Amino acid sequence: MTSLSLTIATRESQLALWQARYVQQLLQNLGHQASLLGMTTRGDQILDRTLSKVGGKGLFVKELETALETGAADLAVHSLKDVPMELPEGFALAAVLEREDPRDAWVSNRYARLDDLPQGAVVGTSSLRRQVLLKALRPDLDIQPLRGNVNTRLRKLDDGQYDGIVLAAAGLKRLDMHDRIRHEFDTDTMLPAAGQGALGIEIRADRQDLVALFASMADARSWKTVTAERAVSRCMGGSCSMPLAAHGQWQGDTLHLQAAWGDELQPDAPLVRAAASAQVTDLASADALGQQVAQLLQAAGAKQR
């Protein structure tokens, strides 16, 4: 393949830059040139309100998509859990890379595990999914909003604003902050968000010259897994304003997909759960499994948006 000179659009947080540089290195290993175009998104600027109140996950990708649309960048690297379930017309997901640890991590300077917290302890997270899952485990906790990049959230914890916080394990591991993780939640206890721990590469749909290039970098099993998870969220109308979790695990060629839904209007209400398994051979069968689990959730009482 002819050597290409590509520009990668990325957010400017430490984690986003790590992810973009990781893809940059992969491209350079294949003999291509790659530079970074750092950008600040509205999601990075608005830190005093939860995402569910200011426009959802799309706030983290809109500026990057504008760079793709104008030709200022050739690709954008995203944390897949921050990407809306439906991409705007004219854009495509070119690849999902091998997934990092999808679990949630417990981070605290005083308490080794969630069970160790005293009654009424303050826990930080702005994720509605994490809020309802934490409340299901410990109804007595005081769950308080926590926005900002990884370093900002850790600083707020270190300043004593929280007894503990919950972050994605993948981000801490990518930033070589393994020592901040006190405990990794079992996925049966804290079911991850759809796509958590996975990186997605977005391009303009008409850039067929990039499709083959990124296909060689994609991890097929990770892509099928997150396709199933994201299908659950898409069919439920999921966004940051819906407490929804979806997580797939492989047993041979069979993908076991679990999902949990909570009512944002009644955060103390019992969670609705559903699961199904299927042999998944391609993205279409992965999507079909996700649709099946979404239907099971609705049949069990979950409300579609």
Would you call 82 a catalytic residue per the annotation? yes
**CA–CA gap between residue 84 and residue 259 (Å, rounded):** 18
Q: What does the radius of gyration of the chain's CA atoms come to, in whole angstroms? A: 19
The vertex-231 CA angle with 228 and 234, nearest 5°, equals: 160
**CA–CA gap between residue 233 and residue 290 (Å, rounded):** 8
**In this structure, are residues 235 and 294 in contact, taking their beta carbons and an 8 Å threshold?**
yes
Burial of residue 216, with CB atoms counted within 10 A of its CB: 0-12 exposed, 13-18 middle, 19 or more buried: exposed
Tokens read off for 157: 């914890």
**CA–CA gap between residue 166 and residue 169 (Å, rounded):** 9
14-29 vs 150-158: helix crossing angle, rounded to 10: 140
Please pick, among 82, 101, 104, 163, the residue that the annotation labels catalytic.
Answer: 82
Give the count of alpha carbons within 13 A of 155, CB side only.
Answer: 6
Residue with tokens 């972050």: 167
> Among candidates 230, 237, 231, 274, which has minimal Cα distance to 256?
274
**In this structure, are residues 153 and 146 in contact, taking their beta carbons and an 8 Å threshold?**
yes
**In this structure, are residues 194 and 102 in contact, taking their beta carbons and an 8 Å threshold?**
no
Burial 5-30 (b: 16+ CB within 10 A, else e): ebbbbbbebebbbbbbeebbebbeee
Q: Which residues does the annotation mark as catalytic?
A: 82
